[in-house]
Homo-oligomer: A and B are copies of this chain.
Amino acid sequence: VTDISTLNGSGRVTLQVIAEQLSVSTATVSLALRNSPVVADLTKQRVQQLARDLGYIYNRSAASLRTARTNILAVAVHDITNPYFAEMLATIEEAASANGKTVLLGTYTENLGRQDRVLATLREYRPDGIIMCPAAGTDRANLDHLTMAGVPIVQIAREVDAPDLDFVGSDDARGTEVAIDYLIGLGHRRIAMIGGLQSTSTGRIRHETYRRVMDQNGLFNPALIHEGAGTRETGFKGVQALLDQADAPTAALCFNDLVAFGTMLGLRQRGIDAGSDFSVIGSDDVKEAALWHPGLTTIRNRQEEMGRRATELLLRRIADPTAPARRILLEPSLVIRGTTAPLAR
């Protein structure tokens, strides 16, 4: 006999309402709804049935206030328009959801001020933890307010210098090394590096490694470097600027696949075919990379696994806030497709 008239004034269905209609306490209702073994089966059934009939909706704000747990995982990245991050975000959401967590999203386009504001806002929702990819130029101090508040953080893809923070990323030095070695093996000598910012860990490491490997082979030449954000535009303009130089490159390692796509467009603009005339290597192996014509040779950075691992790491960190920080570097691999070829003599 479900009496719809709520004894609670507001008309909203709360534990109270259910409790009163069933003449039990709210404590019992609360336990029954969470399927506590301590509640009698019959009571549980009656409570759950009535909750369903009344259209009861659990109020997580109320629960969170009481338990200091929100089951929210905040995810803060600069740009979800880059398929690399979209693919990463997709697996984060999936893994979060599989563990009863929900993703609260914040973005800030490499803008430090916006990042600060976004993090401050996210923090107010009291997420159980945060997965973040620090914007270019972020330093440890930008994260202090989070760590001091005791919010578990794991950095993804990029990292700031903070040995006490968890991190999941790709072994960028290794990936860069393999890619350059491959180009050298193909006979290339004037190999450009296009895209990447010194103000991000990925940019810095990739550029440092590029320099080191080129140096070791007696090939380093600063004129072959074109720094810039990881965008299509950087590739498009960068490769053309490089081609305008005296000793133009015959190959380029791009900061990421977007830069590589832009680079290929820039090459076409000059009537040059990626692959036969000029070798291009990207980074990330975004879904589209395999479909391009010619297919993009690129460094696979395993962004989907990265998202999954970051989520798992965060969950572990939440469970044990005192565990030592972990730094997980995924092993990249070079996926060889059609944009690389032996140097034409």
Contact = CB atoms under 8 A, between A and B. Distances in A.
Contacts of A61: 60-62, 64-65, 70, 125-126
Contacts of A64: 61
A90 interface: yes
Interface string A69-110: 010100100011101001101100110010000111111000
A118 interface: yes
Contact of A124 (B57, B83, B87, B291): B57
B105 A93 contact: yes
Interface stretch (A39-47, A168-176, A204-212, A260-268): A260-268
A310 to B, nearest CB: 15
A55 B86 contact: no
A232 interface: yes
Nearest to A74: B102
B102 A60 contact: no
A122 interface: yes
Which secondary structure characterizes the binding site on chain A?
helix
A121 interface: yes
A293 interface: yes
Interface in A113-132: 118, 121-126
A264 B122 CA distance: 42
A246 interface: no
Interface in A277-308: 287-288, 291-293
A278 to B, nearest CB: 14
B59 A126 contact: yes
Contacts of A293: 264-265, 268, 292-293
A149 interface: yes
A140 interface: no
A126 B60 contact: yes
Nearest to A62: B65
A93 B81 contact: no
19 contacts: A57-B149, A58-B124, A61-B64, A72-B125, A79-B90, A80-B86, A80-B89, A81-B87, A86-B86, A93-B105, A102-B105, A102-B125, A103-B104, A232-B291, A261-B288, A261-B291, A268-B293, A288-B288, A293-B293
* The 9 nearest A-B residue pairs measured at CB: A86-B86, A61-B64, A103-B105, A61-B61, A58-B124, A60-B124, A61-B65, A81-B90, A261-B291
